[in-house]
């Protein structure tokens, strides 16, 4: 675009004379330094150049504003309508662009092009989210995390719309409005926000035994993740893969984070919410901006009807999973997020995911929850984005050619030509453009065969018999956790149920817990100082399933340094060379370092000066995966009297993180706080080797667990 000429100064001078003392002149704007002369012209939405964007049109310097001021009216009109309805669920989210590369093609299983050739790359857009809270809530509540991926394939958009948990609360979509109403803010009081610890949610849970498996996951550390970069993702439902010969198999989709799984502890999550409500959003944005691109491997569990028939659960039940030890996950590709959004509203807020967006080679199953979602999401986009043409918004538009006979509607931006807006037509015979035609050979065709276990194919308001087993997999999940993880789950249940004021609801939940594990139920009852009620009757007795270590976060081992954030606390007089050496060792191992000090300006150190990245009170230890301190005795003594500094170390210790100490830190701060050396409270020479680890054996010493 050509640069514009400077405005006519004689006209500007006349304007200055006419404004008097009632308005800001062009000269004043110019003196401010933001006049924009020589830049592109400011215009209205319809292209009319704006001469003054600082003052509304008035009848005299002190007179009323005039209705004819179309610049003012358009600007205020647009501002008044900037906000669109937020998503009813998954309202608070963060998005990023990326690329998916097929690493292990499976053309024998699916004709989907993105999975058919090794090295094939497909553009993606991903949105992570919390479920229960509004757009203005915080990032770190105990909540499920959405994990939605839009693949812009050569054959159209495929949306894999899932969560960071492989199962769901309910089995049938008809219960979804009830679930969401129950977990959202209570209708008569408008709180709590982004929290399930209240009466209506647990009342619903206590009356719906099918929720119990998901409740085990919800009360686990999976729902208080450390980062979007360290969560798994799941398609939740059973889908189908269809190959070029028309043969189909069932499939479940998994996303495995390359950085590994990592969560917080509850006290830490609460404090992060206060220290940085945008913690996950900031973490994702800054990691990508720094070139530390997060990545996930896409895996599949593929099976046939014979395998499904042998399982003690129904694979079409969204409250059930297939343990990886029974059916291993086969990795087929890797997704890397490598670009932040350019505009949060235009992309992250306007992106519209639809489970009904599939491509040839990927199809649906008869999962009743999935079937309801196929309707719901499309209907939702019209409500949020105001038009059936939401697919024309750039973030939603397919990257392959798109053409059909759908016309008009609100916000239509395409300009179709010719008379052809129906099909079939014979306009081509008259030399006109007849438009696109269906393609039976390459177009999407639904897999025709029904499930072998579908008795008679009658459409009934009923659930299959195996759907009545609500406890076997809840028991499997709980018993697959390591002892400290089980303690976290029990403590989470105690916390949540302590917020429930309806005593009969508490009793119902504990009665259901007895079907999962007697010890768990007893721990929760003890934590609430309530007697253990009689076991709830089970519609179908649970079966024992072999424990699945893949369901445990801690069974995956301690996380590597790669992708983790470590804080180095220093102050005046600290050794600059030692700080730089520690920083270099952490960064060499793949971690990132934030320098923290009581003051953010350049401080005089031994060997030079150094400015901090963050001020101590504004950079609490909950924001980091590990911390160390490199202080001189005099500064350590001062910090020992500072509440923020003491809390910095106490939180790191209480959250079972690695703490590296210098002699002054140990003598003046740690010893006085009663923080004793252990496997994770170590001298600086050992710190970098074990920094990201959590030392869970410390937890019973620092807090009461159920």
Per-residue model confidence (pLDDT) at position 417: 84
**Least confident range of 351-355, 453-457, 478-482:** 453-457
CATH number of 93-189+212-392: 2.40.180.10
Hey, what are 473's tokens?
A: 């997999």
Per-residue model confidence (pLDDT) at position 437: 81
Q: Where are any strands of DSSP class E within 311-411?
A: 330-340, 362-364
Per-residue model confidence (pLDDT) at position 696: 95
What's the mean pLDDT in 413-418?
A: 84
Distance separating alpha carbons of residues 669 and 180, to the nearest angstrom: 47
Per-residue model confidence (pLDDT) at position 20: 37
pLDDT band at 39 (very low <50, low <70, confident <90, very high): low
DSSP SS3 for 281: helix
Q: Which phi-psi region, left, alpha or beta, contains residue 454 (left: φ > 0; alpha: ψ -120 to 50)?
A: beta
Distance separating alpha carbons of residues 50 and 42, to the nearest angstrom: 6
Express each pLDDT in 192-207 by its tens digit.
Answer: 999 999 999 999 999 9
- Global pTM reads 0.86
The answer, yes or no, to whether residue 15 has pLDDT greater than 90, is no
User: Mean pLDDT: which of 50-64, 69-83, 268-282, 437-451 is highest?
Assistant: 268-282
Express each pLDDT in 475-504 by its tens digit.
Answer: 999 999 999 999 999 999 999 999 999 999
What's the mean pLDDT in 508-514?
A: 97
Per the model's pLDDT, the better-predicted residue between 690 and 34 turns out to be: 690
Distance separating alpha carbons of residues 493 and 220, to the nearest angstrom: 9
pLDDT band at 458 (very low <50, low <70, confident <90, very high): low
Distance separating alpha carbons of residues 475 and 467, to the nearest angstrom: 16
**Least confident range of 7-11, 166-170, 684-688:** 7-11
* Dihedral angle of Cα 81, 187, 375, 206, to the nearest 10 degrees: 150
CATH architecture of 9-80: Irregular (4.10)
- Which residues on neighbouring strands pair with residue 255, listed in sequence order? 233, 298
Per-residue model confidence (pLDDT) at position 344: 96
Q: Where are any strands of DSSP class E within 341-410?
A: 362-364
Distance separating alpha carbons of residues 515 and 537, to the nearest angstrom: 8
Indicate the fold that domain 470-555 takes in CATH.
Answer: Hemocyanin, N-terminal domain (1.20.1370)
Indicate the fold that domain 561-702 takes in CATH.
Answer: Rossmann fold (3.40.50)
Distance separating alpha carbons of residues 122 and 114, to the nearest angstrom: 7
Per the model's pLDDT, the better-predicted residue between 30 and 204 turns out to be: 204
The answer, yes or no, to whether residue 115 has pLDDT greater than 60, is yes
- Find where tokens 């000429």 sit: 5
The answer, yes or no, to whether residue 439 has pLDDT greater than 60, is yes
Helices 518-528 and 503-516, packing angle to 10 deg: 150
- Which residues on neighbouring strands pair with residue 337, listed in sequence order? 98
What's the mean pLDDT in 396-401?
A: 90
Hey, what are 442's tokens?
A: 């390459």
Hey, what are 555's tokens?
A: 């069974």
What's the mean pLDDT in 428-435?
A: 84
Hey, what are 325's tokens?
A: 């030890």
- Average pLDDT, rounded, for the chain: 90
Parse the chain into domains and list their residue ranges: 9-80, 93-189+212-392, 470-555, 561-702
Per-residue model confidence (pLDDT) at position 10: 37
Per-residue model confidence (pLDDT) at position 440: 80
**Least confident range of 21-25, 622-626, 667-671:** 21-25
- Single out the residue of 140, 147, 110, 108 nearest to residue 125, CA to CA: 147
Task: Please give the helix or strand (H or E) that residue 152 lies within, else none.
Answer: strand 145-153
Q: Secondary structure of 441-503 in the HEC alphabet?
A: CCCCCCCCCCCCCCCCCCCCCCCCHHHHCCCHHHHHHHHCCCHHHHHHHHHHHHHHHHCCCCH
Share of the chain above pLDDT 90, in %: 75
- Find where tokens 């049938």 sit: 172
DSSP, residue by residue, 537-554: P-SS--------GGG-SG
- Find where tokens 């046939």 sit: 304
Per-residue model confidence (pLDDT) at position 29: 41
- The length of the chain is 706
Distance separating alpha carbons of residues 11 and 102, to the nearest angstrom: 62
Residues serving a catalytic function are: 90, 163
Q: How far is CA 404 from CA 156, 159, 354, 667, in A?
A: 13, 20, 19, 75
* Strand 295-303 to 93-102 pairing: unpaired
The answer to whether 559 and 262 have CB atoms below 8 angstroms apart is yes
pLDDT band at 421 (very low <50, low <70, confident <90, very high): confident
Express each pLDDT in 588-636 by its tens digit.
Answer: 999 999 999 999 999 999 999 999 999 999 999 999 999 999 999 999 9
What one-character DSSP code corresponds to residue 428? Answer: G
The answer, yes or no, to whether residue 238 has pLDDT greater than 80, is yes
The answer, yes or no, to whether residue 657 has pLDDT greater than 80, is yes
């Amino acid at each position: 675009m050509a640069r514009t000429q400077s405005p006519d100064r004689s006209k500007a001078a006349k304007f200055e004379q006419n404004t008097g003392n009632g308005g800001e002149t062009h000269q004043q704007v110019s003196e401010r330094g933001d006049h924009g002369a020589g830049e592109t012209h400011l215009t209205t939405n319809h292209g009319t150049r704006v001469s003054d964007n600082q003052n509304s049109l008035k009848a005299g310097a002190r007179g009323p504003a005039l209705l004819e001021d179309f610049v003012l009216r358009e600007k205020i009109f647009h501002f008044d309508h900037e906000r669109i309805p937020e998503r009813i669920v998954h309202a608070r989210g963060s998005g990023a662009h990326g690329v998916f590369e097929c690493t292990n093609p499976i053309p024998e299983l699916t004709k989907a092009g993105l999975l058919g050739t090794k090295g094939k790359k497909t553009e993606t857009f991903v949105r992570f989210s919390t479920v229960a809270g509004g757009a203005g809530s915080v990032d770190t509540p105990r909540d499920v995390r959405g994990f939605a991926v839009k693949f812009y394939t050569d054959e159209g958009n495929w949306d894999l719309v899932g969560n960071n948990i492989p199962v769901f609360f309910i089995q049938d979509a008809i219960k979804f409005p009830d679930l969401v109403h129950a977990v959202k803010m209570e209708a008569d009081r408008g709180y709590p926000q982004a929290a399930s610890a209240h009466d209506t949610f647990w009342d619903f849970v206590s009356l719906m035994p099918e929720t119990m498996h998901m409740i085990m996951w919800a009360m686990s550390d999976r729902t208080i993740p450390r980062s979007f970069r360290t969560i798994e993702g799941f398609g939740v439902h059973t889908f189908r893969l269809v190959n070029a010969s028309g043969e189909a198999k069932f499939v479940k989709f998994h996303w495995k984070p390359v950085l590994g799984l990592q969560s917080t502890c509850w006290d830490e999550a609460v404090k992060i919410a206060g220290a940085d409500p945008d913690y996950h959003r900031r973490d994702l944005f800054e990691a990508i901006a720094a070139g530390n691109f997060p990545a996930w491997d896409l895996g599949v569990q593929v099976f046939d009807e014979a395998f499904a028939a042998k399982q003690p659960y129904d694979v079409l039940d969204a409250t059930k999973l297939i343990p990886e030890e029974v059916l291993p996950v086969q990795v087929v590709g890797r997704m890397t997020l490598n670009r932040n959004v350019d505009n949060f509203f235009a992309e992250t807020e306007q992106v519209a995911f639809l489970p009904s967006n599939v491509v040839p080679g990927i199809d649906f199953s008869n999962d009743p929850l999935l079937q309801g979602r196929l309707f719901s999401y499309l209907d939702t986009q019209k409500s949020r984005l105001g038009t059936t043409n939401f697919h024309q918004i750039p973030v939603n538009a397919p990257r392959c050619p798109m053409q059909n006979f759908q016309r008009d509607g609100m916000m239509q931006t395409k300009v179709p030509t010719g008379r052809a807006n129906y099909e079939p037509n014979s306009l081509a015979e008259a030399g006109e453009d007849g438009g696109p035609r269906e393609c039976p050979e390459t177009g999407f065709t639904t897999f025709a065969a029904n499930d072998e276990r579908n008795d008679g194919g009658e459409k009934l308001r009923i659930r299959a018999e195996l759907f009545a087993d609500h406890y076997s997999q809840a028991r499997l999940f709980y018993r697959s956790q390591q002892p400290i993880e089980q303690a976290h789950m029990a403590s989470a249940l105690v916390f949540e149920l302590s917020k429930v004021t309806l005593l009969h609801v508490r009793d119902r939940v504990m009665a259901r817990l007895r079907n999962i594990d007697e010890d768990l139920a007893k721990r929760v009852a003890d934590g609430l100082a309530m007697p253990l009620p009689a076991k709830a009757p089970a519609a179908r007795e649970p079966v024992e399933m072999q424990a699945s270590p893949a369901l445990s976060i801690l069974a995956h081992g301690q996380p590597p340094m790669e992708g983790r954030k470590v804080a180095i606390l220093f102050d005046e007089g600290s050794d600059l060379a030692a700080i730089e050496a520690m920083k270099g060792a952490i960064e060499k191992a793949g971690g990132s370092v934030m320098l923290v000090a009581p003051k953010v300006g350049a401080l005089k150190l031994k060997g030079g000066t150094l400015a901090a990245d963050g001020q101590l009170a504004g950079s609490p230890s909950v924001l980091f995966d590990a911390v160390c301190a490199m202080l001189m005795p005099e500064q350590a003594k001062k910090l020992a009297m500072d509440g923020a500094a003491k809390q910095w170390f106490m939180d790191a210790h209480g959250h079972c993180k690695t703490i590296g100490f210098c002699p002054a830190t140990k003598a003046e701060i740690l010893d006085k706080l009663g923080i004793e050396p252990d496997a994770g409270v170590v001298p600086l020479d050992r710190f970098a080797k074990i920094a990201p680890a959590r030392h869970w054996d410390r937890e019973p010493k620092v807090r009461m667990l159920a």
